[in-house]
Structure 1
Amino acid sequence: MSRSRAPAFSDRQVVIFLEAVGNIPLEIFRKNQKPKNLKPFNYIKYLFKATNQHGVHSPFIYSYLVNGLYKRKSFPENSLLSAWKKHNNFSKRKQKILNRTFSYFNDENFIKAHDNLFREDKTVYFSLKENSPEEILKQSNSFNLLVVDAIIEDAEKQKAWLFLKEHKGFNISIDLYDIGFLFRRNEQVKEDFRIRI
């Protein structure tokens, strides 16, 4: 009988985990105590359920991961990210994710192959701290890529994210722990990805 190997984590993921665990109050381990902050546990659960490019069976998402998100290359700051940063306080991790994503989807070769589907004017940002799922659905009809922030903030926002990614208007959802992407791409069957970064 073969034994499955434990997933390999990057040094950065281990640091995030250790930082999160370091902030866990000891009273949550006492009997009959309900934890107030489940974020560290949610991150651990995310790490174990998430995959990288090797667990993805969609050529579209595989290409995005290999040539965008995981590419070992420094990208200049994208103009859309610069504009969004004026109104939002993104962590360095989110800035890196967004910049690599926008750089990939706005690359000349990608635009030619995909009819400008995900260019900057077809991309929009929403935060579940400020917008309800219903508001997001109403305002998102003319966009093909939705960036949804604060998807793990609390149980209510996790339910809102689940509602959005299950909505028939989106073909692809990508969960990157605290930020998510929703795509409209008619030629693809509905798929949900939890990606480790």
Structure 2
Amino acid sequence: MWFKISTYLSFLLKSTNQHGVHSPFVYKIITECFYKKTSKDNVLLFKKIKNSLTTNHTNIEVSDFGKGSKFFKSNSRKISDIANIAGISSKKALLLIRLVQYFNPKYVLEIGTSVGLASCALSIGNFNSKIITLEGCENTAKVAENTFRKFQLKNIQLAVGDFKNTLPNVLNSVSFDFIYFDGNHQKEATLNYFNTCLKTVTNNSVFIFDDIYWNPEMLETWEIIKQHPKVTVTINTYFWGIIFFRNEQIKQHFTIRV
């Protein structure tokens, strides 16, 4: 608890809004995406999807291949609890929708589907984007697939299995320009995913890392990623770390309140 409090206070002291940013590229993201309102239709659609999951009290057995949960003491969990506790928050989901709209990626990869809430946000952001999402647990994947089908989100493809196998497979077939990392909150695994995905990088690629302040290990991981020679611009929003690979940009790190 003290780690979360101290790091958030530190974040607030270092953070700024658009007025403290002297990069036209980042200023435009902040003003035209971060601080822009999500359309009412997209808000309503996401709320309907989230409500369908948060009111589903069916129990499923979950296989946890990542760091594990800070909240769940058993692998038998209600879908509603997974959506409420482990699912993406509405604030983050709406921002994710706007980010996909803003960057307009052709191919999107999500590492860590869970019950599919963030996948749905990615889909809502651009129904023309082709989304592949990876999930290790068969039972949560089934819940996600049912949700995609129910709300006719036809641009999502789900790959089930150990990320060690599924990630290299999808990277061999598609070059992704937008990747959302939310599958494992451990240093070694996150760095492995990052280094594996670097083969897809172009000048316009966007990588988003969820929960960079999850624990000291993840914060250390974020600092390592920031220093990678291919990374030129980073944005720390506290809940996400966003990185870019634009060759025309000097290396700069931004801490932005959203």
> Which among 180, 189, 194 is matched to residue 250 of structure 2?
189
Judged with a 3 Å threshold, the aligned counterparts in structure 2 of structure 1 residues 76 and 142 are, in CA distance, closer, same or farther, namely farther
Matched residues, percent identical? 32
Aligned mates of 1:133, 1:163 — CA distance in 2: 9
| TM-aligned CA deviation for residue 47 of structure 1 | 1.3
Q: More strand per residue: 1 or 2?
A: 2
Give the secondary structure class of the aligned counterpart of 2:192: helix
Judged with a 3 Å threshold, the aligned counterparts in structure 2 of structure 1 residues 46 and 176 are, in CA distance, closer, same or farther, namely same
Give the secondary structure class of the aligned counterpart of 1:160: helix
> Which among 191, 196, 221 is matched to residue 133 of structure 1?
191
| TM-aligned CA deviation for residue 184 of structure 1 | 1.2
Aligned mates of 1:37, 1:66 — CA distance in 2: 33
Contact 1:140 1:146 in 2 (8 A): no
Match of 2:26 in 1: 61
Matches within 5 A, 1:36-185: 36-74=1-39, 77=42, 89-106=87-104, 121-127=176-182, 128-129=184-185, 131-143=189-201, 144-185=205-246
- Give the aligned length: 146
| TM-aligned CA deviation for residue 77 of structure 1 | 4.1
Contact 1:171 1:186 in 2 (8 A): yes
Aligned mates of 1:75, 1:147 — CA distance in 2: 25
Give a deviation string over 1:43-99, Cα, whole Å, max 9, x none. Answer: 122112101101111001101111111124526549xx9xxx999721122112212
Contact 2:38 2:94 in 1 (8 A): no
Alpha-carbon RMSD across the aligned residues, in angstroms, is 2.7
- Long gaps (5+) in structure 2: 54-82, 106-128, 131-175
Judged with a 3 Å threshold, the aligned counterparts in structure 2 of structure 1 residues 93 and 41 are, in CA distance, closer, same or farther, namely farther
Give a deviation string over 1:124-163, Cα, whole Å, max 9, x none. Answer: 1113516321331122321411111120011111000000
Contact 1:75 1:103 in 2 (8 A): no
- Long gaps (5+) in structure 1: 1-35, 108-118
Aligned mates of 1:48, 1:63 — CA distance in 2: 23
Give the secondary structure class of the aligned counterpart of 2:16: coil
Judged with a 3 Å threshold, the aligned counterparts in structure 2 of structure 1 residues 75 and 45 are, in CA distance, closer, same or farther, namely farther
Q: Partner amino acid for 2:97?
A: N
* Runs of 4 or more consecutive aligned structure 1 residues displaced over 2 Å after TM superposition: 72-78, 85-88
Aligned mates of 1:77, 1:169 — CA distance in 2: 34
Judged with a 3 Å threshold, the aligned counterparts in structure 2 of structure 1 residues 165 and 41 are, in CA distance, closer, same or farther, namely same
Give the secondary structure class of the aligned counterpart of 1:132: helix
| TM-aligned CA deviation for residue 189 of structure 1 | 0.8
Scaled by the length of structure 2, what TM-score is found? 0.51
Give the secondary structure class of the aligned counterpart of 1:38: helix
| TM-aligned CA deviation for residue 102 of structure 1 | 1.5
| TM-aligned CA deviation for residue 170 of structure 1 | 1.0
Judged with a 3 Å threshold, the aligned counterparts in structure 2 of structure 1 residues 189 and 96 are, in CA distance, closer, same or farther, namely same
Give the secondary structure class of the aligned counterpart of 2:200: coil
